[in-house]
């Protein structure tokens, strides 16, 4: 199943669950819905830079115990956002280095996933995903998306990410269960971050190896 089809499947499940939860009757008087789901009435979001949790250096976000952990990336073009995004995405797609695996870090992305920067317009990065044959389980898709979004927005000058799959738009799952086809920010996935107390006594991220 492609990311695009997976998004559609998740969306169908969400719609069915929502209809059941609302108790839509098949007869009787109309029912007034007093709460609009999934923040549909919120105004359009603007690109707002979100500071990195551990400084200004770019990070690759990996997974530990269903939470995301920032690992310092090795980037040679920090002053060039497009080049920096390309570098951190390459390191993310390569997966955790041996020291990171020894520390219990993993990735929700498949081993043959391809993630690349398509373009950068202002503070919005457009990223395309080719999931490959070994795709993440549906329950892991929000983690995989969060890895990409948090990694890309850790680059100074990048505040939002628009994700496509094989060039086609996709609806991304948010931690609360909603779907969105709009650009997303780091704040959208902040609830998936590991709490600082669980990151180790030093509180400092490890260094991602440049050669894997």
Confidence of residue 63 (pLDDT cuts 50, 70, 90): very high
DSSP 8-state secondary structure symbol assigned to residue 18: H
Alpha-carbon gap, residue 19 to 25, rounded angstroms: 10
As a whole number, mean pLDDT of residues 16-35 equals 40
pTM for the predicted model, two decimal places: 0.71
What average pLDDT does range 33-42 have in this prediction?
39
Does position 46 have pLDDT exceeding 80, yes or no?
A: no
Q: Is 74 within 8 Å of 88 (Cβ atoms)?
A: no
**Mean pLDDT, all residues of the chain:** 76
Q: Which residues share a beta bridge with 129?
A: 115, 165
> Residues 183, 187, 191, 194: what is their CA dihedral angle, to the nearest 10 degrees?
110
pLDDT of residue 89: 97
pLDDT at 112: 84
Q: Do residues 124 and 47 touch, judged by C-beta distance below 8 A?
A: yes
Percent of the chain whose predicted confidence (pLDDT) is above 90: 52
């Amino acid at each position: 199943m492609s990311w695009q089809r997976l998004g559609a499947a998740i969306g169908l499940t969400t719609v069915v669950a929502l209809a059941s939860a609302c108790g839509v009757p098949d007869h009787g008087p109309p029912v007034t819905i007093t709460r609009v789901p999934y923040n549909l009435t919120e105004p359009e979001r603007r690109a707002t830079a979100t500071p990195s949790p551990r400084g200004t250096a770019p990070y690759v976000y990996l997974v530990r115990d269903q939470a995301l952990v920032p690992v310092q990336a090795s980037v040679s073009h920090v002053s060039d956002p497009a080049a920096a995004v390309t570098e951190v995405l390459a390191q993310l797609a390569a997966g955790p280095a041996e020291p990171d695996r020894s520390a219990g870090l993993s990735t929700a992305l498949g081993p043959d996933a391809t993630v690349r920067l398509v373009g950068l317009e202002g503070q919005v990065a457009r990223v395309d995903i080719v999931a490959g044959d070994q795709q993440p389980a549906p329950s892991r898709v929000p983690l995989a998306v969060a890895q990409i979004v948090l990694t890309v927005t850790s680059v100074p000058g990048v505040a939002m990410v628009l994700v496509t799959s094989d060039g086609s738009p996709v609806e991304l799952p948010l931690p609360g269960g909603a779907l969105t086809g709009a650009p997303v920010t780091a704040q959208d996935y902040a609830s998936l971050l590991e709490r600082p107390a669980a990151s180790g006594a030093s509180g400092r991220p490890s260094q991602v190896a440049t050669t894997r």
